[in-house]
C-alpha cells in the first residue's frame, strides 16, 4: 500500500526541564512551529523527603495527558 505524502504531517514537540529547588522542577514545552511555549511546574508531595506539594506531581501530569 502506497502512502501519499500530501496526507502526512510532521508534528514536533520540544521540552526543556530545569531544577528549581529540592524536587520542584520546571518544564518549558511546546510546538516550535506555532511559536508558543508553555511552562509547567511539578513537585513531589511531602511523602518524599524534600517534596513540598507546591505543584502537581510528574505522574499527575502524565496521567492527565493520557486522559486527554
Q: What is the pLDDT of residues 25-64, one digit of tens each?
A: 999 999 999 999 999 999 999 999 999 999 999 999 999 9
Residue 5 forms part of a structural domain: no
Residue labelled with grid coordinates 524534600: 50
pLDDT, greater one: 53 or 4: 53
Single pTM value for the model = 0.76
Q: What pLDDT, on a 0 to 100 scale, did the predictor assign at position 63?
A: 98
Q: What pLDDT, on a 0 to 100 scale, did the predictor assign at position 2?
A: 66
Flag whether pLDDT at 3 surpasses 90: no
Residue 17 forms part of a structural domain: yes
Range of the domain at 40: 12-67
Q: What pLDDT, on a 0 to 100 scale, did the predictor assign at position 9?
A: 85
Distance CA 15, CA 1 (A): 35
Number of folded domains in the chain? 1
C-alpha cell at 16: 526543556
Amino acid at each position: 500500500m502506497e502512502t501519499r505524502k500530501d496526507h502526512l504531517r510532521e508534528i514536533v514537540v520540544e521540552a526543556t526541564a530545569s531544577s528549581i529547588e529540592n524536587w520542584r522542577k520546571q518544564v518549558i514545552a511546546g510546538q516550535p512551529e506555532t511559536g508558543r511555549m508553555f511552562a509547567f511546574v511539578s513537585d513531589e508531595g511531602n511523602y518524599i523527603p524534600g517534596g513540598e506539594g507546591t505543584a502537581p506531581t510528574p505522574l499527575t501530569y502524565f496521567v492527565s495527558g493520557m486522559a486527554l
